[in-house]
Structure 1
Amino acid sequence: MRLYHPTGHRATLSFLGELAGPYQQHESALLRALEALEASRAVWRAEAVSYVSSRVRQKRLGRRVPSPGEPPPSRMGGHWYASTPNVSRRAAMHALKLWERDLHPGSANDEVMSVVRGCIATGGRLTDGQLDILSRLRKGDEPEEVRWPVTLVGSATGAVRA
């Protein structure tokens, strides 16, 4: 069984605390946190099932390779799956703030840092130039230390998922 932590283990737990309250100390908050996590996982599972169905149809039509905009379920991280887009954006913003806070000085690409800081400062509204950088970084074969914050920014802006 795969563990479900849509924005990373630590960021997911931290965001659950923001959503539900101090779940480590209060049973009612723990139940709210569990309910929020289960609801997110249910939306993720439905999207994964939809993806599988779509790929089966595409393969029957001869499309053996998915298009770049169709991540397989194993790559559907960095996005809090919710029926309310605002919750997804809040979770991504929360994870971005943790990522930036814990970043070691000089360990991130300057373009990535610029886009991350712009996203945090504006609550997810990027300029056209920042969106162009985001798009270029997403299309490249970037290492994980670039891919993860770029994925979170895409989720925080509501522009892309996973």
Structure 2
Amino acid sequence: MGMYHPIGHLATLSFLSELAGPYQHHESALLRAIEALEASRAVWREELDSYIDARLRQKRRGRRAPSPGEPPPSGMGGHWYASTPDVSRRAALHALKLWERDVRPDSADPEVRSIVRACIATGGRLTDEQRDIVSRRRTSDETDEVRRPITLVVSASGWSPGVTV
């Protein structure tokens, strides 16, 4: 089994520090960090098991491939699985801030960087125009440099493309 790091390895460690405190130096903070990570993984496992059950039922009915808008829950997909949406949004915003801080200016897609900056500035609220851009850019043929921040933007906004809000 691989390591569970829902918003990326470094972002997950950094967010755990935000949630639990300086876990590298204090045992009580370390226990809180472990508890938070285990809780996130448990929610992810529930969603993954639910997805697997649904796909098995679909396959029995002859639908061999999932729809493009139905990706399986993944452990590294840019989403902090939590029982409360606020924690998921906070984690995604945290990861977006790290992405924005660390991305090289010449390597970032200008449209994606603009969406990321707007998402951070508004705490995850997207305009209709920004949602259209996210929907258009959230395709399987995009590079990981585009897919990762776009997935984080979707998580930070609490919005799911294809679902009217």
- When normalised by structure 1's length, the TM-score is 0.96
Preserved CA contact (<8 Å) 2:23 2:33: yes
Task: Compare the two structures and name the one with the higher helix fraction.
Answer: 1
Larger CA deviation: 104-113 vs 74-83: 74-83
Do the aligned partners of residues 74 and 40 (structure 1) sit closer, same or farther apart at CA in structure 2, a change above 3 Å counting?
closer
Q: CA deviation at 1:74?
A: 4.2
Distance in 2, Cα, partners of 1:14 & 1:69: 30
Are residues 1:26 and 2:11 paired? no
The amino acid that maps onto 2:84 is T
Q: CA deviation at 1:96?
A: 0.2
Distance in 2, Cα, partners of 1:44 & 1:94: 19
Q: CA deviation at 1:126?
A: 1.0
Do the aligned partners of residues 92 and 74 (structure 1) sit closer, same or farther apart at CA in structure 2, a change above 3 Å counting?
closer
> In the alignment, what sits opposite 1:119?
119
Structure 1 vs Structure 2 CA RMSD? 1.3
Do the aligned partners of residues 59 and 76 (structure 1) sit closer, same or farther apart at CA in structure 2, a change above 3 Å counting?
farther
Distance in 2, Cα, partners of 1:45 & 1:77: 14
The amino acid that maps onto 1:36 is A
Amino-acid identity (%): 74
Give deviations 1:57-81, integer Å, cap 9, x for gaps: 0000000010112112447610000
Distance in 1, Cα, partners of 2:83 & 2:33: 16
TM alignment of 1:43-82, pairs within 5 A:
43-74=43-74, 77-82=77-82
The amino acid that maps onto 1:41 is R
The amino acid that maps onto 2:85 is P
Name segments (4+ residues, structure 1) moved above 4 Å: none
Q: Secondary structure at the match of 2:138?
A: helix
Q: Which sections of structure 1, spanning at least 5 residues, go unmatched?
A: none
Q: Which sections of structure 2, spanning at least 5 residues, go unmatched?
A: none
- When normalised by structure 2's length, the TM-score is 0.94
Preserved CA contact (<8 Å) 2:7 2:76: no
Distance in 2, Cα, partners of 1:69 & 1:53: 17
The amino acid that maps onto 2:141 is D
Distance in 1, Cα, partners of 2:140 & 2:52: 25
Q: CA deviation at 1:125?
A: 0.5
Give deviations 1:113-148, integer Å, cap 9, x for gaps: 110000000000111111100010013510000000
Distance in 2, Cα, partners of 1:132 & 1:55: 28
* Equivalent residue pairs, number: 161
